[in-house]
Amino acid sequence: MKKPSATNLPIYKNPALPAARRVKDLLSRMTLEEKAAQMMCVWQKKSETLVNGDGNFDLKKAKAAFKKGHGLGQVGRPSDAGKGKNAREMAELTNAIQKFFLQNSRLGIPVMFHEECLHGQAAIGGTSFPQPIGLGATFNPGLIESLYAMTAEEARVRGTHQALTPVVDVARDPRWGRVEETFGEDPYLVTQLGIASVRGFQGDASFRDKKRIIATLKHFAAHGQPESGINCAPTNVSMRLLRETFLYPFKEAIQKSGAISVMASYNEIDGVPAHASEWLLRDVLRKEWGFKGFVVSDYYAIWELGYRPDTHGHCVAKDKKESCALAVRAGVNIEFPEPDCYLHLVELVHKGVLKESQLDELVAPMLFWKFKMGLFDDPYVNPDEAARLVGSEKNRKLALQAARETITLLKNANNLAPLNPSKIKSIAVIGPNADRELLGGYSGRPKFYTSLLEGIRSKVGDRVQVPYCEGCKITVGGSWNQDLVTPSHPEEDRKQIQEAVKVAQQADVVVLAIGGNEQTSREAWSLKHMGDRTRLDLTGRQQELVTAMLSTGKPVIVFLFNGSPLSIQYLNENVPVIFECWYLGQECGHAVADVLFGDFNPGGKLPITIPRSAGHLPAFYNYKPSARRGYLFDDVSPLYPFGFGLSYTTFAFKNPHLAKNKIRRNESTRLLVDVKNTGKRAGAEVVQMYVRDCVSSVTRPVKELKGFQKISLRPGETQTVALDITPESLAFYDIHMKCVVEPGEFEIMVGNSSRDTDLQKVILTVE
């Protein structure tokens, strides 16, 4: 049979034509029902509509569910079909589903597949690296871009087109269970790593090499400072703070790295839920910023515009029809994760509540990116290539490097660390997190996982004895997904602590792995699945375990694993060595061992302040001048400040100066500083630049991060670091809500943390 020539093809099927022209032609051919179908997705309903009990494509089910031939917009997480799909199986499944929709929808419109890719694709076999809060500690945009480029390739080869990542929320309340999903508390750091993430996922957004996928910025907006620290609660912030802190990372990632998709957030701002906010999704996102991509709903969030009994609701809609209308008017292009409120689209158009042109406007950009990704022309993937690439040794090495750079040394009294294995005979490994898989939320099942215990034993081999005791539990069993969280039993814990003391007494040094786990700080998504906290203390009997280990008289080295900052004043006062690890991903044990024995010099920096207690919140470093006056009976300063992190070597900052001490408001200059490695080991340091407007028309923070650079130096080596100061570095929203640079003096501070004693100052005059 003779194939039709390009000239005989419908315009939308001609790959030689521009995507925009193909979209216009396709839309003109689509029925109202076909347009509505593009605004819907199936996720868990795959089992009813697309796959059998084993998670394999079921043609009979698919034909019954989509017999009208209207098609479908997206399929959510094909990786979790059945009991989960490995790389080859998922590639085969996505090919089969795609083939069905191309052949069984009237116009042959392909579907898009989305996946969670927070720290590697959350699927069987995907390479798992540190949680974003840990990635924030690396202060390394180049590394972050490489990690997400790796994830994009692993996901795309399995059939994925869109990642529901990166999270560019600015986390300003450690009680909030989703802190681990963010890059931290600082808008500038979050922005730089967010831009790097998008570039990793999307590349140049040509998608020609089939190695990249669409990035989704989330959660838009201001999700990171919920009332009372409770997930989805209202965000009560001023317009100035909203724009400068919470909207800034989204704006920059859209305008500087071309993010294609945005996910609206569950929360409300000033009484208007994000999914119903025309101001947020139309006026700001599209009109002000020029966003041309598409907005996806958070899971079930359109339903929550009314009332969702198992969790909450905003009560701005009386039913799902009203919720549908509100979301469409606001500009939500597609409803995730199931056909629900948007099932009413066609009816609402027929009744005149909505116009078909409103659907056209929302469907067009989604079709555009289906064309740009080649889904109409080259939609299939190679299962053999998926099996070869996903979880490869090459990708494993990158995950290990990320884990190493994440580890942050908070305290090292008398230079106890690193340990020299030739000088010790026995290391007691103790603690509830010593031999537990700790990946954090939105994790898949990587091919490899090495616990702290396994990593240490692998490193020292037969040269050093490594006895182990759990010591106590944090929670009983459980996982991130399990609703019920069961606290450990006090008496059973105390029996284990006694056993741990016996083990520790026979050792030369104690390595103690404690902190939190995936249940003690996590996304709270329903009334039965909580994850936000009122306290930041160590859960259960962990502090008793620490006290017992110290009572043995043995040197104690603590490795903390947690998704959110913990109040560890007792540890700070009594334990000689403390490492903050967050969640390190699949190479956890190897990274810990490399750092513990000095094969890798830790260089992580805190991406979020560690407060003294929950009563000290908020504790973020970039506060206003009147904020941290003091407390009765307590120190107002943080336990560990933003940007802080020690090394096995030392660094000296000298001769900070400006290339130009005076500039006009539209001019730029540079801060230069000499940094010398004054110790005996090679190491990495993060040079951090903070800015303060000394006198301004509205109050400004006492300091704001506006530049950083990570450098590696050999012992005795000096490097001059130059950091740009542009009008953007100095601008803010003035008394008239205009983003301007005001004339006057600015303090430019440089050092290796946000703490005043770690900073040196120079004055910049803006004329």
Q: Which residues are catalytic?
A: 298
Distance between CA atoms of residues 198 and 163, nearest Å:
10
Query: Which residue, among 614, 651, 650, has the nearest Cα to 634 in the 3D structure?
Result: 614
Number of Cβ atoms within 10 Å of the Cβ of 82: 15
H/E run at residue 189: helix 187-202
Q: Are 559 and 452 in contact (CB under 8 A)?
A: yes
Q: Are 559 and 581 in contact (CB under 8 A)?
A: yes
Distance between CA atoms of residues 460 and 589, nearest Å:
12
Distance between CA atoms of residues 174 and 566, nearest Å:
8
Helix, strand, or coil here: 719? strand
- CA–centroid distance for 267 within its chain: 18
Helix, strand, or coil here: 263? strand
Parallel, antiparallel, or unpaired for β 427-430 and 468-469? parallel
Helix, strand, or coil here: 30? coil
What type of residue sits at position 549?
A: M
Alpha helices in 466-587, H assignment, sequence order = 490-505, 542-551, 569-574
Compute the chain's Rg from CA coordinates: 27
H/E run at residue 452: helix 452-460
Helix, strand, or coil here: 248? helix
Query: Which residue, among 119, 221, 144, 180, has the nearest Cα to 608 in the 3D structure?
Result: 180
Is the backbone peptide bond immediately before 418 cis, with ω within 30 degrees of 0? yes
Is the backbone peptide bond immediately before 166 cis, with ω within 30 degrees of 0? yes
Q: Are 575 and 645 in contact (CB under 8 A)?
A: no
Parallel, antiparallel, or unpaired for β 509-515 and 468-469? unpaired
Tokens at 531, concatenated? 């994850």
Which CA distances in Å does 493 have to 486, 534, 633, 641?
A: 14, 23, 33, 33
Tokens at 101, concatenated? 């929709």
H/E run at residue 94: helix 87-104
Number of Cβ atoms within 10 Å of the Cβ of 495: 12
Alpha helices in 612-761, H assignment, sequence order = 727-730
Q: Are 217 and 197 in contact (CB under 8 A)?
A: no
Distance between CA atoms of residues 646 and 549, nearest Å:
24
Number of Cβ atoms within 10 Å of the Cβ of 490: 12
Distance between CA atoms of residues 642 and 708, nearest Å:
13
Dihedral Cα 398, 401, 406, 409, nearest 10 deg: 170
Distance between CA atoms of residues 204 and 353, nearest Å:
39
* Beta-carbon contacts of residue 529 (< 8 Å; ≥ 6 apart): 483
Distance between CA atoms of residues 233 and 245, nearest Å:
18
